[in-house]
Amino acid sequence: MPTLPTTVFDQFTRRTADVTAQLATLGIPLTAPAPPPADLNPADPWASSYTVPVDRSSLAWCTAVTMLTDHHHTGIERQVLAADALLRELGVRGLAQLHSDLYAGAPVDYRFIRCPYCSGIGEDPTQPTCGEVGCAPWLEFAGHDHVCPVCQGDDCQPEWFAEERMAELEELLADAIEEREEHASLRYRTRARLYRRTVRT
């Protein structure tokens, strides 16, 4: 029976260990092979054929392949190339795009949905924490290197934000009802005037 992670940071180690163990079992190398070089474009002499190497043992790659296999209900071997392409093209930030794509293109609100990369802690798990580095408390609001690149440090607290969201929605609904009543009143007055004109003529 597998042991459960004892701290939130243990789950990141567990995630990479599980994925790399599956890759080793399948005989898939931990470094993605470089794609074939692109044809040189004489119209763009500054174009580069350099491609970013993809480390399949990184937390970002393991997160991407896990998201893909969970969503498509397939084995890891079917999603390896997709995870390679995502990380090569967009890097870690591409996980946010992938998350949105898996939600049919809808924007993902990380205040209500736990971030797949940092699991809702709001900091980049691969960087030292603010406590380890000794960041000043005001940096939490100023933005700094430790913020999670996927959720941008959004605090996943649906039970707290739901109240705030409900208050916002009630206010929007009240405004919409008031506006509709104003428009209905205006339509009634316009209709009454037009009716009076047609009756006179």
User: What pLDDT, in 10s, does the model give residues 135-181?
Assistant: 766 665 555 667 889 998 888 887 777 777 778 878 888 888 888 87
**Partners of 147 in the β-ladder:** 123
Would you list the domain boundaries of the chain? 158-201
pLDDT 10s digits, 44-92: 666 556 667 789 999 999 999 999 999 999 999 999 999 999 999 899 9
Query: Would you say 19 and 28 are in contact if contact means Cβ atoms under 8 Å apart?
Result: no
Cα–Cα distances (Å) from 129 to 59, 95, 111, 190, 201, in that order, read 16, 21, 20, 64, 81
Measured between alpha carbons, how far is 100 from 109 in angstroms, rounded to an integer?
10
Give pTM, 2 decimals.
Answer: 0.69
Q: Quick one: which of 148, 154, 56, 151 has its CA closest to 96?
A: 151
Residue range 100-123, pLDDT digits in tens: 999 888 888 888 889 999 988 888
